[in-house]
């Protein structure tokens, strides 16, 4: 078991299984099929991301360095949250990028019942330590606990 501390972008506590991307998450490429064609599991459609491609993202503790790609990224995340297809939480090893921040804040400000805790700046060690299917607990104050 290991504990990490980051910065809170969107508040909340949650427990979920880890899903780890070591490369940037291309939000549009990853979520577009899930949003368009009713895939409630939000299966990742980004062919360039071998860590995530074909895996369920909805309900997972998505651990990643940053998001990349199209500037639809924030609204895609906002829509995923509104439709209940978002990850349980998003945990960034690096300081959050502008598109992911937009999605997290839009969902937090404009949606009442679709919370998605978002923590950033967890550090390189976090991403090196966390593995798929680890049990992740997000606590108050940006504390993230990972255990096998």
Partner 1 sequence: MNLSKEQQDILDGKQGDVLAKVMQTLVRYGEVFGADAMVPVTSKYNHLVTSFGLKALAPVYELMDKLIESGNVSKQKFSADPRPLDPNVPSSFLQNFVFKNFMYSKQEDYEKQLEQIGIMDKDAYTCTCYMDEVGNTPAMGEVLSWSESSAVVYANSVLGARCNRNSGIIDLMGSVAGYVPRFGLLTDEGRKATWVVKIETTKKPEAQLLGSAIGMKVMADVPYIEGLDKWLGGELDEAAKTYLKDFGAATASNGAVGLYHVENITPEAVKYGKDLVAEGAKVYVVDDAELQRVYDSYPVIWKKKDATPKLCFMGCPHMSLNQLIDWTKKVEQGLKEAGKTKVCIPTVFTAAPAVLKKFEETPYAAVLKKTGVITSYICPLMYMNNPLSGKMPVITSSNKLRTYTSARYYTDEEILEQITKGGAER
Draw the binding track, 9-48, toward partner 1 (x: CB under 8 A; -: no contact).
Answer: x--------------x-x-xx--xx-xxx---------xx
Compute the least distance from the CB of residue 148 to partner 1, in Å. 30
User: Which listed residue (1, 109, 112, 148) binds partner 1 by CB under 8 A?
Assistant: 109
d(CA 87, CA 13): 13
143 binding partner 1? (CB under 8 A) = no
Compute the least distance from the CB of residue 85 to partner 1, in Å. 10
Please, which residues have CB within 8 angstroms of residue 50's CB and are 6 or more apart in sequence?
none
Taking CB under 8 A as the binding criterion, the range among 13-21, 55-63, 96-104, 131-139 that sits at the site for partner 1 is: 96-104
101, 9 Cβ separation under 8 angstroms: yes
Please, which residues have CB within 8 angstroms of residue 81's CB and are 6 or more apart in sequence?
103, 107, 111, 114, 115, 116
Looking up tokens 């991307």 gives 21
Pick from 77, 61, 64: which is nearest to 21 by CA? Answer: 64
Residues that bind partner 1 (CB under 8 A): 9, 24, 26, 28-29, 32-33, 35-37, 47-48, 66-75, 78-79, 82-83, 96-99, 101-103, 105-106, 108-111
């Amino acid at each position: 078991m290991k504990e990490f501390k980051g910065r809170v972008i969107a508040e909340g506590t949650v427990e979920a299984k880890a899903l780890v991307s070591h490369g940037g998450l291309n939000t549009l490429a990853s979520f577009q099929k899930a949003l368009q064609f009713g895939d409630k599991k939000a299966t990742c459609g980004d062919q360039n991301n071998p860590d995530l491609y074909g895996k369920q993202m909805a309900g997972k503790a998505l651990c990643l360095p940053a998001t990349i790609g199209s500037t639809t990224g924030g609204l895609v995340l906002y829509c995923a949250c509104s439709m209940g297809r978002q990850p349980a939480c998003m945990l960034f090893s690096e300081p959050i990028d502008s598109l992911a921040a937009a999605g997290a804040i839009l969902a937090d400000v404009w949606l009442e019942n679709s919370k998605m805790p978002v923590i950033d700046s967890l550090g390189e060690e976090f991403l090196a330590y966390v593995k798929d299917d680890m049990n992740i607990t997000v606590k108050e104050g940006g504390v993230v606990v990972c255990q096998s």
